[in-house]
Amino acid sequence: MENIRQSERLNKLPPYLFFEIDKLKNKARQGGRDIIDLGVGDPDRPPPKFICDALCEALKDPNIHRYAFDLGQPEFRAAVSKWYKKRFNVELDPEKEVLPLIGSKEGIAHVPLAFVNPRDWVLVPEPCYPPYKSGSLFAGANIEIMPLIEKNSFLPDLSAVKKASKARLMFINYPNNPTAAVAGLDFFQAVVDFAEKNNIIVCHDAAYSELAFDGVSRPASFLAAEGAKAVGIEFHSLSKTFNMTGWRIGFACGNADIIAGLAKVKSNIDSGIFNAIQRAGVAALNTETDHLENMNQLYKERRDALIDGLASIGWKINKPKATFYVWAAVPKAYNSMGLSQRLLEDADIVVTPGVGFGKNGEGYVRFALTVPTDTLKEAVKRIGKVL
C-alpha cells in the first residue's frame, strides 16, 4: 500500500548497529560456519543461583502475576536505596528518587521525551551507546556531538561544547561503552558545575560500574559529586552486574523532578517490570556473595588472554581497567568496517566496528569478553592467520 511508509523520525535513524551485526552473524551460521561472537556485550554466564531461586520462589505467589505498580515494588526501590548508600555512600529517597526500569536502555531512550522539545539541543558523547542518539532523535532534538578521543582519556572536552547555553540535556557514560574508559569524581564534579552554569539535565549511564580490574578503585557514582542530585540522574542495570540481561530490570535514580518526568512518560507507555523479577532484583541487591569478585576475576583473565595473545602476533592494545570490552585501534591497513568484514569473512569472528558507535569511533573495533577464555585463544589463532 502506498500509504504504508515510515515516519520522518524513523528515517532519520541509522540502522541499529547490533541488529545489523546479528543479521550478518546469523547468515554466516546458517551457512554452517563456526562463528566466534565477540560483538554484543551479553554475558555468557547465568545469574547467580540465589537470584534464580528467588525468582522461582516468587512465582509460587498466586498474586505475583498481576500488573506491576507503575513506580515499581516498594521493596525493590528500598533495595536500590540501600545498595546505593552502601556502594556509593549516596542517600536516595526510595519514594521519590528511585524509578525501576525495564532495563536501563528503555529509560535512557525515553528520558528525552520528558524534557526535550523539538529542535532543542542534546549533548551526546561519541563513540556512544546508540540509544543516546536515537532517543534524542525520537524527541525531535538537535544533537551536538562531544567527541571522545584517546588523547583526552576518552572524556569529553566540556570547554569545546558550542551549544551549552541552548542544551536541555546531556548524556555521559562511565565506565564507558565502547571505550572502557573510567572517570573519577573530579570529572563528575566538572560536569555538575557545567550543568549548573548552563541549566542542563545530566543523564549518567552507570551500567558498568561494578566491572573493574587491576586494583583500580571501584568506579564512582556521578551522584556522589557535590550538587549532582540538583542537576541529574543516574541509570543503572542489573544486566551486567548480575548477568541478568534477558530479565530486563534496571533503574534510574537521583533528582526527584527528573525521576517524576521520566515516570510520567513510562506510565503512558508500559506497565512496569514483572513483579517476580523485581523480587529477584531485591535478592540480587540485598545478598552478600563473592559473585562480583569472581566475575571480575573471570573478565580479567579473559582480557589478558585476548590482549596478550594479540600482542604475540603484533597487535598492541592497551589493557582496559573496567567493563568487559576491549577498544582496539585497528591496524593501519584497515578502517573499522573493513577489518570487521575481514574478520567475519576470513576468520569467522564477529567484532563491532567502531564507526557503528558514531564517526568518532572510526579507527577502532570493539571486542566483547563474553565468551570463554579458550574461545578467545582460538579467536587469536584465527586472527593471526588473517592478519
- Output the domain CATH number for residue 101: 3.40.640.10
Is there a domain that residue 3 lies in? no
**Which candidate, 249, 236, 255, places its Cα nearest to that of 93?**
255
The answer to whether residues 108 and 249 belong to one domain is yes
Q: How far apart are CA 28 and CA 35, in angstroms?
A: 7
Does residue 1 have a pLDDT over 70? no
Per-residue pLDDT tens digits for 330-360: 999 999 999 999 999 999 999 999 999 999 9
**What does residue 53 show for φ and ψ, rounded to 5 degrees?**
-65, -40
Q: Give me the domain span that covers residue 189.
A: 49-286
Please, are residues 251 and 99 in contact by the beta-carbon 8 Å criterion? yes
The answer to whether residues 53 and 42 belong to one domain is no
More confident of the two residues 7 and 123: 123
The answer to whether residues 215 and 279 belong to one domain is yes
How many domains are contained in the chain? 2
**Which candidate, 299, 313, 385, places its Cα nearest to that of 345?**
385
| pTM: predicted TM-score of the whole model, two decimal places | 0.95
Is there a domain that residue 2 lies in? no
Does residue 55 have a pLDDT over 70? yes
Domain-terminating residue out of 259, 286, 313:
286
The answer to whether residues 150 and 238 belong to one domain is yes
The answer to whether residues 147 and 182 belong to one domain is yes
Question: Would you place residue 215 in the very low, low, confident or very high pLDDT band (cuts 50, 70, 90)?
Answer: confident
> What is the share, in percent, of the chain residues with pLDDT greater than 90?
88
CATH for 369 = 3.90.1150.10
The answer to whether residues 211 and 331 belong to one domain is no
Question: Would you place residue 26 in the very low, low, confident or very high pLDDT band (cuts 50, 70, 90)?
Answer: confident
State the pLDDT at residue 387. 87
Per-residue pLDDT tens digits for 263-312: 999 999 999 999 999 999 999 999 999 999 999 999 999 999 999 999 99
The answer to whether residues 65 and 184 belong to one domain is yes
- CA distances 150 to 40, 127, 213, 305, Å, are 22, 11, 20, 23
The answer to whether residues 234 and 101 belong to one domain is yes
Q: How far apart are CA 353 and CA 366, in angstroms?
A: 7
Average pLDDT over residues 253-265: 98
Does residue 18 have a pLDDT over 70? no
Q: CA Rg, the chain, in Å?
A: 21
Average pLDDT over residues 136-140: 96
